[in-house]
Structures are given as C-alpha cells and as structure tokens.
Structure 1
C-alpha cells in the first residue's frame, strides 16, 4: 500500500510524505521565536523542535540530540546518514494516516503544523565554503564553441577530472532575495581603457548544489564509493553571472567579480533518500576515469528542471528552458571525491554547485549565454525579448521528480534583478 499522510496533500504538490525536505523557518519573528528546523509536508511546515520536545524522536541517535533546537541544520548534517534515516523513518511514521501520535494530538498539531504561507524561510545551513563545478558536457561544449570555436571546444583535461573553482559563500542568499546588478570592468574597445559600470551581460545559470553532511579530516580523502554518505541532499541553485565582467577578468585565474556578487538557493533541501527512487545511470564516461573516480555505479537523478523569466513590467512569466539533472557528466559523488583527493577537508554545510546544467537541445540550454549565443540571438519572453537580463526581470527555477502518483519537488528558486547602485 502506498504511503499516505493524514495531512491532505494536493496531487501536484512538491512536498508529499515521500519527500519531506528539510529547511529552517521563522514564525512570528523576535527573540521569542528563533529560526528552527522543519520539514515541508503539503502546504504546511512541521516544526521539528516541537516534535522533538514532545518525545516523538525516540530513536537512539536523535532522542538525546539537540540538533532540532538549532537555528541551522549543520548539527543534524554532522550526525550522518544513520541519523538522517532515523529522522526520515520517524517523520514518515508520525505523519502517516495509520499513526495516531500526532494525528490524534490536537494541541501538538496546532503547535507543530504551521501553514507554509504564514512562515518565513531562512537559509537552512551555515555555509562555510562553496565550490562551483563545471560538470555538464553540453554546457562546456557550448561555452567552448562560443569563445574558442569547435576545433577546441572542450579542453582535454575536462574529460579526466571535474573542473571547479572556489566560490564566495558570503553572497549565497535565499530564494526571493533581490540581486543588485553588479558593477565591474569589461573588455576595452579599441585603444580605450576598459569599460567600467553596471554589467551589460547579466545572466542566470541553471544549477543544483549538493549539501555536505559529515566532513572529512584534513589529509584524508573520501572514497568515491563512500561519497554519498557525505551528501545530505540537494537544492536548486542560480549562480548568477556577469558575463562581460567575467570574460575580461577570467584569464589567467578564472571567475572572480563576475560570479561573487550573488548566488541564490532554494529553501528546502531534498535528501538523497527521497531522490533514490529517481536514480538513473549517468552518461558513459570516455576515457574511463582514473581509479579514484571510477564508481561501482555511476548515477544521476531524473529531475526535470525548468527556468522561467518574468520580464520587468509583465504579469506573466515565460518558460525559457527545460533541462534535466541527468545531463550531468560528472556525478555528485565524483565531484565530492575529487574535491577531497588532495586531502582537502570538507565540513558540514559546505555547498558544492554542479555548474550549469544544459541538455543537448537548444531549448535545454541552462543559461542566456547559450540561449542567445552570447547576445547574437533574441530570446522571446512573451511581448518582450531578451539577450541578457534587464533590471526588473525575475528568474524562477523549479525542479520536480515524477513518481507513481506523487511528486518529489524542490519548490522554486527565484530572484529579481534590481538596478546597480549609483
């Protein structure tokens, strides 16, 4: 019999009992109501501090832990997969239609189950470090074709290791936060000095990001076949990019001001356990990876991704791309294993971005750089057209797995561009 919650969940909801993503919420504000952990269930959030205080987390790993009385999820992440499974099993049990513990306790339901539209979500984790990978072959090929031509579209090293750079953790913000158009330098024209001013080529990047659970000790790499135990879950991520600033600055050390001004993530972390029914084989890797990257099973997840743009002044948003997480060439576990192979120590709450997720078709490209082919084509957005983002534009990501009679979704990840500071 299919698992069913006693809470009514709409058929198109992203948050049925099969999902139960984790986040941090605030209700009422002020010192009397600090941020605290929750899971999403239908149109409600379930306050995990209230559930723990009521003694319903009675398993050996969580009964005496204060991880659900924290203002972020880092302490829970550090406990590892056994504790995550214990929490998921407990929550699915008490939310099921067959269990009376919460269903028949009116006072606890009133305290612990809060309408989602009455709470404010905040960043779910304290992010100490953020790394951004470059793991989509289609995106890498498109970028190479644009800037170097088809003869040298993808550098030879790309097929041997997951390429990445160290991002800026301090400018990671929650969905719904406005993004100020960045200022910086751009390519000079002729013999003039470099352009300085607001970015003229502001872009989105359709990404997802792995949230690190238990870290590893400095000097001790994580085995690729054990890397999944170090990944708590996944969020949607828009790693905004100022293409003109980035193009001028990136040689020889790579992105800096063109990327560090803002990165947006969705509020709910969908666990790998919730995604497991949607696991699928990753693309065949040629040449075969070196032994430390060779997985017993190399897998991705079938997550449909969509990007909408709501142009400035318009009431409607318009789909500009549809992609899928399964287009990634390098898997999450390979990314994490490679990150640690030199002895680098990851910590709970670290964020590992996948890089832009583009598919093979034009309509599945994951950035305006590709969709407009670096500004040489117009992209239709209803009555408006775009090459790059304009002030007032809102970009909305969504992600969804389609199960048998239910969805496992991520909600949305959105941000609006506001004008550059004077």
Structure 2
C-alpha cells in the first residue's frame, strides 16, 4: 500500500446513525451501534438536534436521573403546536409514560395498586391456562409437518389475552384489539408520518370509548380486575380523574401487549438459534426467566427512549444544554462490552447488572414482572411441548425503527 495514500476514515457518526433506518439496519443494527459507541459514544446529530447515548453507563445514568425529564404536554406546546388536534398526542404526552414530577409520582402511586406482587402472582394460573390453549391451536396447525406463524397463533394473542385478563376485557372483545393496539403504537416511532397520526388518532379514540364503557360497567358490577381496582384506588383522598382512569387502561393495554409480543417472538427465535440452551430451558423451568432477560438484552424490543435535560449537564465530556433532547439507545447499551462481556453472545447463564429493556429509575416499567411471568411460562411450555420446533422460513420484522418485533415467525413442530 502506498504510504502516501490517505486512510479511509470509515463512515461518519451520522452515516452510522442513519444506516439504522435502512432495511439492513433494521434487521441488524448492532454493527453500526457498536461502531458509533466506539467512535462517538455521545453523538450530537445537528440535523435531528438530538444527543444519542450508546454506552450502558451513560444511558443508565440519564434514565435514573429525574433531572432528565420525559417529553410531556408542556414540551408539546413548543414542539407539536397542533397537538390538540390529535387525540393520540393528548393521550400519549399526558399519560403516566410521559408525565413528570409531581404528576408522575402521583399517577404511579395510585396505579401501582393494580400491579402489586400479589396481584401479578395471582395471574399465573390464567397465564398458564391461556398459554396452553393457544399452544393447542399451534399444535393442530403444525400437525403432520404443517407450518404455522407463531406470532399469529401465540405471540400476539397471548399478551392481548393476558392484559385483557388483567384489565377486565371480556374474551369476546379481545380479538379486535390487536389492530387497534398496533395503530396506537405508531406513537412510539421517532418520526411520524401523517398516516401514522391518522391511524393513532383513530385507534386512541376507539380505545378511549371502549374503556370509558368498561369503567361504567365495572362501577355497576365490580370484579377482581384492574378496572375495578383503579376505580377504587385512592390515597389521602386523592383519586384518578375520569380521563386519567381511561388513559391509564389504554396505556396498560397498548404497552402491555405490543412490547410483550416483541419479547415473545424474539425470545423464541433466539433459543431456536441456540439449541443447547433451548434444551436447558425445556428441562429446567427456573431457567426460563433467565432466558427472557437474556433475550431482552440480546435483542431489545424498544430500541431507544428519549429524555429532555432539565438543566445543563455534562455526559462523557459533552456539554448538554438545558432543554437538550437526549436519546438513550437501549439496544446499544444492552450490548456494551464494558457492562456485558462478550456482548454478542447469547448466554442464559449470564449474571450481573440488570438490562435496560424495561428502562430504569422513576419510569421503570410497572408491568415488568407481568411480562417476565408471561415470557417464562410461554418459553418453558413451548420448548417442553415442541422439542423439535424449528424455523420453517426466515422471520419477518415489522417496518418499525423504535420497536423490534417479528410480524411473522413461521415455524414447524418437527
């Protein structure tokens, strides 16, 4: 090589970031994220005016620090001036997911009554029964060498059924919720098209109407479900408003099924790629929850989440101004070699620091225990019942940047 030939500097930080929006980047974002973490772990993209964090330490610190706020309705006034025209924006940015102090603490305290360890543990029997019923259908579809889409028969209907059981949605009403939940989840995309807004607005309006009606029914006929619990929840005389009640049920539904569907499909796929560990999960149910956590680390469903700097800050030597938009790239943090040795290796025996897939700090996911319960029950039962489970064709991911979810996972049982 001619010593005077300039070395190729490689792709720029922006090229690495924008490659994630390509079909190849959506399928395998990890090489680009690793390169970005190595070259510019706190990268300010001037076109997007956002600071992207790709190390575990930086992401964990920001998510745990209440000085970094979530974009809320106050933020909307400056950045989405037409938010009042969008029911989906009104729901999303005023919900517990986006609320800041003191509203967030108040909402979480009142809603937490529906997510106590006792209430989650009480759902185990229902989760097991629902899983077995769906696997019966899957067994019928794959009998005699047939092929079936795991996501259609198990990955989607199981979380919808479980969150329906939690909230109090009758079984007959649940099938229509898959499409509505998918449309509402378009709000998770970092860049939303006009079609995204239309779909989300329509879905949120329909779901608000449904949950308003459900609350009326539960007020007249209380049951052992989240709708009834939230109607009665109070602390020092404080109660959820009617709008807060409706939107909390909507949030629990959408967040509770879309991300869990992603987790189930990716966990099954990960274990199919690692047959020795799959056999361990089938033989030992105690390993199923560890497999859930490792799959969440290895292929994180929610790739990133954003915060707003409430005051000037310095991260990794980079000055962040007050009001600066900071995006924690969870998919990169969960494969940071400084935190997880040999991070690209799937290892259900891995131990150590908690993954960031359920966030951290004040906004740590309220439904994390329920998601782990669903995942551990499903994984053990799937691989115990179908020891010859195998891919029948390459899985197909949804065309989404923020949510990594298999739309189709074709499998054969023998």
Short-chain TM bin: under 0.3
- The structure carrying a bigger strand percent of its residues is 1
TM-score scaled to structure 1, two decimals?
Answer: 0.23
- The structure carrying a bigger helix percent of its residues is 2
